[in-house]
């Protein structure tokens, strides 16, 4: 099951269609069927949350031929990890279970030079929050490489230096805006090395590298594809594959963001505060109960329904039932939120129990910068 177009998967894709038209991102629905011939697609893929890709065919080919492939993903430790950050790691864990080698870069150089974050805080958040949460969510330490941008292997830095010759200022400005400075410039070249280095022999020589990201990172991926082309004969680099997932709506209706506490629920959120945040969430409900019974709610515009779709309901049948209970007006928002709260608290309680041990593991696997 899962391949028929789900009622919840279609609506918001409309907003993302622009990306197909203007940037050449392909709809993920095109490769879903092929993937399902090999293995069960991830819940986020079935539900249209993962909506786009570039060159995902390469991953399918690798899976079919039983060839090794790798996943590269980045941690930007600005603010606590929340549910809006969880979709990436859910996909990474899925690929790891399919046999992929996992590279996780902690973007500490970018966080320091571009976002102006404090170095101690960067290390602390990356290890004790993000990485610990990743492990508690089920990321295994097998086939896993975690590194800090400021503390990695020589060949990685050589890439940054070589890449500088074949990247233009106008490309960099297209990514970071007109006000380029040395920090941003180095951050872009560093991200190119992040994305492309698993292809080098010294890092495993992976022909297929997939980078799952939110659409905001696509400019980097377009540049990485161009850089790969420009270094194809010199270094044998190939274009990376990428997938794009929708952002999770914040509980206040905007994008879920660590800068607005009422918009997000952290994975380390105390249960009491998590419960009260979801009960206060905006919904797709009508102004009065009477209207809602008559017209039904609008789950497509509801942050609570998004939490259920992206994170809290594993069964497609159950999600579909909730969708129609809302749509038909059979269920009102109060009842729905109580149900969502119950699921959220059960999830968080179980997750947070694993965090203590995960923190210990997290601090032992990453090579923390010396100063
Ligand atoms: N620029 C990314 C961000 O702002 C962080 C990042 C660095 C990254 N290197 C990466 C993301 C490689 C994906 C792949 O979040
Ligand atoms: Fe959202 Fe649930 Fe209300 Fe529907 S019933 S609008 S899904 S909170």
Q: At 325, which CATH number?
A: 1.10.240.10
Nearest CA to ligand 1 atom 6: 74
**92 is in which domain, residue-wise?**
17-247
Say yes or no to pLDDT of 15 above 80.
no
- In this structure, are 211 and 348 located in the same domain? no
Q: Quote the ligand 2 centre to 203 CA distance (angstroms).
A: 47
If one residue of 305, 327, 337 were mutated to test the ligand 2 pocket, choosing by the most ligand atoms within 8 A of its CB, it would be 305
What pLDDT was estimated at residue 271?
Answer: 98
- In this structure, are 170 and 288 located in the same domain? no
Look at residue 7 and tell me if it is in a domain: no
Say yes or no to pLDDT of 12 above 70.
no
Q: What is the CA radius of gyration of the chain?
A: 21
Using an 8 Å Cβ cutoff, are 211 and 71 in contact?
yes
Of 359, 357, 355, 365, the residue nearest 148 (C-alpha): 365
Which residues surround ligand 2 with Cβ inside 6 Å?
283-285, 297, 299, 302, 304-305, 326, 331, 333, 336-337
- In this structure, are 296 and 164 located in the same domain? no
- In this structure, are 103 and 153 located in the same domain? yes
Domain end position, chosen among 194, 221, 247: 247
- In this structure, are 287 and 230 located in the same domain? no
Of 55, 54, 58, 56, the residue nearest 42 (C-alpha): 56
State the residue for tokens 């980045």: 74
What pLDDT was estimated at residue 18?
Answer: 80
Domain end position, chosen among 247, 274, 302: 247
Ligand 2 atom nearest 333 alpha carbon: 3
Domain end position, chosen among 247, 278, 304: 247
Alpha carbon distance 348, 354 (integer Å): 10
Look at residue 371 and tell me if it is in a domain: no
Say yes or no to pLDDT of 6 above 50.
no
Average pLDDT over residues 243-249: 96
Most confident stretch, 20-24, 170-174, 226-230: 226-230
Average pLDDT over residues 292-310: 98
What pLDDT was estimated at residue 14?
Answer: 57
Look at residue 204 and tell me if it is in a domain: yes
Look at residue 5 and tell me if it is in a domain: no
- In this structure, are 176 and 54 located in the same domain? yes
CATH code for the domain in which residue 152 is found: 3.40.50.620
Average pLDDT over residues 333-358: 98
> What pLDDT digit, counting tens, does each position of 254-276 carry?
999 999 999 999 999 999 999 99
Look at residue 347 and tell me if it is in a domain: yes
What is the percent of the chain with per-residue pLDDT over 70, rounded to a whole number?
96
- In this structure, are 182 and 72 located in the same domain? yes
* Sheet strands (E) in 111-155: 144-148
- In this structure, are 161 and 297 located in the same domain? no
Say yes or no to pLDDT of 244 above 80.
yes
Residue 319, both tokens: 């999600």
If one residue of 296, 301, 337, 343 were mutated to test the ligand 2 pocket, choosing by the most ligand atoms within 8 A of its CB, it would be 337
If one residue of 220, 243, 247, 257 were mutated to test the ligand 1 pocket, choosing by the most ligand atoms within 8 A of its CB, it would be 220
- In this structure, are 205 and 331 located in the same domain? no
> What pLDDT digit, counting tens, does each position of 43-66 carry?
999 999 999 999 999 999 999 999
Using CA atoms of 248, 253, 257, 258 in order, give the dihedral in degrees to the nearest 10. Answer: -130
**Number of domains the chain contains:** 2
Confidence of residue 337 (pLDDT cuts 50, 70, 90): very high
Q: Quote the ligand 1 centre to 191 CA distance (angstroms).
A: 6
Of 49, 75, 107, 84, the residue nearest 259 (C-alpha): 84
- In this structure, are 302 and 206 located in the same domain? no
Nearest CA to ligand 2 atom 3: 333
Look at residue 235 and tell me if it is in a domain: yes
- In this structure, are 219 and 275 located in the same domain? no
**Which residues, in sequence order, are CB contacts of 88 under 8 Å at separation 6+?**
73, 212, 213, 214, 245
Whose atoms come closest to the Cα of 92: which ligand? 1
Average pLDDT over residues 323-341: 98
Average per-residue pLDDT for the chain: 95
What pLDDT was estimated at residue 20?
Answer: 85
What is the percent of the chain with per-residue pLDDT over 90, rounded to a whole number?
92
Look at residue 132 and tell me if it is in a domain: yes
Say yes or no to pLDDT of 9 above 60.
no
Say yes or no to pLDDT of 195 above 90.
yes
Which residues surround ligand 1 with Cβ inside 6 Å?
72-74, 76, 105, 107, 110, 191, 194-195, 211, 213, 217
Give the pTM: 0.95
> What pLDDT digit, counting tens, does each position of 99-148 carry?
999 999 999 999 999 999 999 999 999 999 999 999 999 999 999 999 99
- In this structure, are 285 and 197 located in the same domain? no
Look at residue 84 and tell me if it is in a domain: yes
Of 103, 280, 111, the residue nearest 196 (C-alpha): 103
Ligand 2 atom nearest 308 alpha carbon: 7
Task: Tell me the HSE value of 370 on the side-chain side, using a 13 A CA sphere.
Answer: 1
């Amino acid at each position: 099951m899962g391949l028929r177009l789900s009622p919840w998967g279609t609506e918001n894709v409309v907003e993302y269609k622009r990306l197909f038209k203007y940037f050449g991102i392909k709809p993920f629905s095109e490769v879903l069927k092929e993937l399902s011939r090999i293995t069960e697609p991830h819940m986020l893929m079935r539900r249209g949350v993962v909506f786009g890709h570039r060159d995902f065919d390469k991953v399918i080919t690798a899976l079919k031929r039983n060839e090794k492939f790798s996943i590269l993903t980045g941690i930007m430790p600005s603010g606590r990890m929340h549910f809006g950050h969880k979709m990436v790691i859910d996909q990474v864990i899925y690929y790891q279970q399919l046999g992929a080698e996992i590279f996780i870069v902690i973007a500490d150089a970018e966080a320091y030079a571009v976002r102006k974050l404090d170095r101690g805080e960067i290390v602390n958040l990356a290890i004790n929050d993000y990485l610990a949460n990743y492990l508690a969510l089920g990321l295994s330490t097998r086939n896993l490489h975690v590194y800090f941008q400021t503390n990695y292997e020589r060949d990685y830095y050589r890439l940054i230096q070589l890449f500088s010759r074949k990247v233009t200022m106008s490309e960099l400005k297209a990514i970071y805006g007109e006000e380029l400075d040395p920090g941003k410039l180095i951050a872009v070249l560093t991200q190119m090395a992040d994305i492309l280095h698993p292809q080098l022999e010294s890092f495993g020589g992976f022909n297929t590298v997939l980078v799952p990201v939110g659409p905001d990172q696509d400019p980097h991926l377009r540049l990485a594809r161009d850089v790969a082309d420009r270094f194809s004969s010199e270094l044998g680099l190939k274009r990376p594959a990428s997938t794009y997932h929708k952002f999770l709506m914040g509980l206040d209706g905007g994008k879920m963001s660590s800068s607005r506490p009422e918009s997000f629920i952290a994975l380390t959120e105390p249960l009491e505060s998590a419960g009260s945040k979801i009960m206060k969430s905006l919904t797709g409900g009508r102004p009065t109960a009477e209207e809602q019974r008559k017209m039904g709610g609008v789950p497509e515009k509801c942050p609570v329904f998004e939490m259920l779709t992206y994170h809290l309901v594993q069964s497609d049948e159950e999600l579909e039932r909730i969708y129609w209970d809302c749509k038909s007006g059979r269920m009102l928002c109060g009842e729905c939120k109580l149900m969502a709260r119950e699921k959220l608290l059960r999830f968080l309680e179980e997750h947070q129990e694993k965090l203590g041990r995960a923190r210990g593991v997290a601090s032992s696997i990453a090579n923390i910068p010396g100063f």
